[in-house]
Amino acid sequence: MFEQGKVSPIIPIKLQPSIKADVALYLLRLDLTDEYVSGNKWFKLKYNLNDALLLKRKSVLSFGGAFSNHIHALAWAGKKLGIKTVGVIRGEPEYASNPTLTDAARWGMELLFVSRSEYRKRNEIEFVEALKRQFDDPLIIPEGGSNHLAVKGASEIVTKSMLDQYGFNHIVLPCGTGGTLAGVAVSQPEVSVLGVPVLKGAEFLVSDIQELMSGARCSDPGNWSLDYSGHCGGYGKTSKELIDFIEQFHCDHNVSLDQIYTGKMMMRLFQLIENGAFSKGSKILAIHTGGLQGLRSLSTS
């Protein structure tokens, strides 16, 4: 079975705007869950991979970009469990030499590079069936690992004991495909959950998240919302402001943030606190979703 690594600690984040606003901010360090399958990826893959083992599937296939945390985590997990992995990668074969895909290939993942137009077909039945024939009927995991089993896993990220101990009334996390937010929201219906999409034009995530909840046979608790102002120009885009923020955050709190997900979320959260978006006495739990391997892409992006 795919077993959890370390227990993720919760640490206080002290900053002047939150102290001034009488808002308490804490960070759930999912980045410390596992060295390679870190953060939310461990939770999203947990039941998918256990399903593959129970069904005695010889291989698992999934989709991602050239610097995908999901692809990186899946490759390592497959190696540890003895399951062959296949990564369908958006982009050119030249990306194979980047740190993320170098690791994936070293851990035994077979990489198939497809054009961006082909990649857009990843949810089409005909395209998926062709992949199944090509790779001897693997178990298919969607991009980012987001499906009903991912929602089940993500529902275990925030526990009632955390809420009882700290009294959190807000949870904030970054969003890519929406699977983590769906799981967290349905598991803690009494808490306000805010997602910060890291891609531009992410309004479509509302229906995607609702569909993920429905697929997991969960009712939408209506306790969540999205803030679309934290993407820094789009998925994988960075800015000097973001890089400076990540560096300063590390200096101030001795915590590394990635530039794709948690860095963007934390910078936007700081802005929201400074702008008075949270009422006096609020207790906020921000979720560090891992992905620190992506920091290595800064030199090539």
Contact at 8 Å (CB) between 256 and 29? no
Give the span between the Cα atoms of 104 and 100, in whole angstroms. Answer: 6
**Does 210 lie in the same domain as 261?**
yes
Residue 126 included in any domain: yes
Task: State the pLDDT confidence band at 289, using cuts at 50, 70 and 90.
Answer: very high
pLDDT at residue 2 tops 60:
no
**Does 291 lie in the same domain as 160?**
yes
Q: Is 26 left (phi over 0), alpha (psi -120 to 50) or beta?
A: beta
Q: State the average pLDDT over residues 33-57.
A: 90
Task: State the pLDDT confidence band at 264, using cuts at 50, 70 and 90.
Answer: very high
Residues in CB range of 94: below 8 A, 6 or more apart = none
Residues in CB range of 144: below 8 A, 6 or more apart = 44, 64, 68, 70, 150, 176, 177, 179
Residue 150 included in any domain: no
Contact at 8 Å (CB) between 162 and 184? no
Task: State the pLDDT confidence band at 4, using cuts at 50, 70 and 90.
Answer: low
**What percent of the chain is predicted at pLDDT more than 90?**
85
Check residue 35 and give its pLDDT: 80
Q: Give the strand pairing for 24-29 and 192-197.
A: unpaired
Task: From 145, 173, 192, give the residue that closes a domain.
Answer: 145
**Does 284 lie in the same domain as 182?**
yes
**What percent of the chain is predicted at pLDDT more than 70?**
96
Of 5-9, 77-81, 172-176, 238-242, the range with the lowest mean pLDDT is: 5-9
**Does 21 lie in the same domain as 87?**
no
Write out pLDDT tens, residues 131-188.
999 999 999 999 999 999 999 999 999 999 999 999 999 999 999 999 999 999 999 9
Return the higher-pLDDT residue of 36 and 138.
138
Residue 187 included in any domain: yes
Task: State the pLDDT confidence band at 5, using cuts at 50, 70 and 90.
Answer: low
Residues in CB range of 235: below 8 A, 6 or more apart = 176, 198, 199, 200, 260
Q: How far apart are the first and last CA of the chain?
A: 36
**Does 84 lie in the same domain as 68?**
yes
Residue 3 included in any domain: no
Task: From 145, 175, 191, give the residue that closes a domain.
Answer: 145
Write out pLDDT tens, residues 180-222.
999 999 999 999 999 999 999 999 999 999 999 999 999 999 9
Task: From 117, 145, 173, give the residue that closes a domain.
Answer: 145
Global confidence as pTM: 0.92
**Does 47 lie in the same domain as 21?**
no
Residue 68 included in any domain: yes
Residue 1 included in any domain: no
**Does 293 lie in the same domain as 164?**
yes
**Does 178 lie in the same domain as 30?**
yes
**Does 161 lie in the same domain as 28?**
yes
Residues in CB range of 152: below 8 A, 6 or more apart = 47, 183, 216
Task: State the pLDDT confidence band at 301, using cuts at 50, 70 and 90.
Answer: very low
**Does 287 lie in the same domain as 212?**
yes
CATH of the domain at 284: 3.40.50.1100
Of 16-30, 59-73, 95-109, the range with the lowest mean pLDDT is: 16-30
Check residue 300 and give its pLDDT: 43
Distances (CA, A) of 29 to 10, 55, 216, 288: 6, 32, 26, 5
- Other beta carbons within 10 Å of 164: 9
Q: Residue 173, exposed/middle/buried by CB under 10 A (0-12, 13-18, 19+)?
A: buried
Give the span between the Cα atoms of 154 and 47, in whole angstroms. Answer: 10
pLDDT at residue 65 tops 50:
yes
pLDDT at residue 53 tops 60:
yes
pLDDT at residue 98 tops 50:
yes
Average pLDDT, the chain: 93
Position of tokens 């009488």? 22
Q: Give the strand pairing for 10-12 and 24-29.
A: antiparallel
Q: State the average pLDDT over residues 267-277.
A: 94
**Does 257 lie in the same domain as 141?**
no
Number of domains the chain contains:
2
pLDDT at residue 17 tops 80:
no
**Does 130 lie in the same domain as 162?**
no
Write out pLDDT tens, residues 107-137.
999 999 999 999 999 999 999 999 999 999 9
Residue 169 included in any domain: yes
Residue 245 included in any domain: yes
pLDDT at residue 297 tops 70:
no
The domain of 27 spans 10-39+155-299
**Cα–Cα nearest to 39, from 72, 80, 12:** 72
